[in-house]
Amino acid sequence: MRITVLANPKKFLDLSQVLIPWMFGLTVLLLATGLYWGLFLTPPDYQQGDSVKIMFVHVPAAWMGIFVYAVMAGASLTGLVFRHPLADVAAKSAAPLGAAFTALALLTGSLWGRPMWGTYWEWDARLTSVLILFLMYLGLIALWRAVEDPSRAARAAAILTLVGAINLPIIKFSVDWWNTLHQPAAVLRMGGTSLDKAFLIPLLVMAVGFSLLFVTLHLAAMRNEILRRRVRSLQMMQASQQAA
């Protein structure tokens, strides 16, 4: 099946209705496995003790916060250039999910930082750039809600999303460009991972689980947005008929 078929909202609704229950079940299985493995079967770190296990939620949440914004930027560019009928639906539906992942990353990062750094928060490059990412999410959500016309809101949000995408490489490379309290990359780095397999495998299981969680929730949110727009169109049609 060509991906262009999904440009048809009816086809998308039909396919997503089939996929969501299966993806939800797989998501629950992976997250349960990853959490149990990470929290109960991995040893304490020789320096950080049991506090290192916050990693199994913090790292996937941080990855997803960045990834979801990249998805929004791709959808925004697609909407502006190719006028894909579902591009703005995808971008709008992803924003609250990205905000939730980023908030979770900030919260768990603060809990992890307290025993490691002696403080819940430090205005260094990595933490500040992730906070800016969270504020960008909130700003886009507010913009979508402030503009009643979906087409006008989509264009304004797409432009703002693409401008904000400049923050993504800053987040990624902040620990390399500046002196920060935040540790450098341990998984995605040149020369391979520095993480022991005892921690790496459950971390990857959690990362896949978080990814499937996003896809599942994103499909459901897109379905709701499409149906919401259909209801709005019917209401406007009825109002115009009554006015005539």
| Residue-range domain boundaries for the chain | 18-40+52-184+197-228
| 3-state SS record for 149-180 | CHHHHHHHHHHHHHHHCCHHHHHHHHHHHCCC
Two tokens at 46? 């020789």
Q: Is 87 within 8 Å of 231 (Cβ atoms)?
A: no
∠ CA(228), CA(230), CA(236), 5° rounding?
105
pLDDT reading at 2 higher than 60: no
CA–CA distance, 38 with 57 (Å, rounded to integer): 9
Model confidence at 50, pLDDT cuts 50, 70, 90, reads: confident
pLDDT reading at 47 higher than 90: no
Concatenating the DSSP letter of every residue in 71-140 gives: HHHHHHHHHHHH--TTHHHHHHHHHHHHHHHHHHHHHHHHHHHHHHHSSS----HHHHHHHHHHHHHHHH
Q: What is the mean pLDDT of the segment spanning 146-167? A: 93
pLDDT reading at 39 higher than 90: yes
Share of the chain above pLDDT 70, in %: 91
Does 193 or 112 have the greater pLDDT score? 112
Helix (H, G, I), strand (E, B) or coil at 45: strand
Mean pLDDT of the chain: 89
pLDDT digits (tens, 9 = 90+) for 123-154: 889 999 999 999 999 999 999 999 988 889 99
Half-sphere exposure of 11 (CA within 13 A, CB side): 10
End-to-end CA distance of the chain: 44
CA–CA distance, 168 with 101 (Å, rounded to integer): 15
pLDDT digits (tens, 9 = 90+) for 212-243: 999 999 999 999 999 988 887 777 777 776 76
CA–CA distance, 139 with 116 (Å, rounded to integer): 32
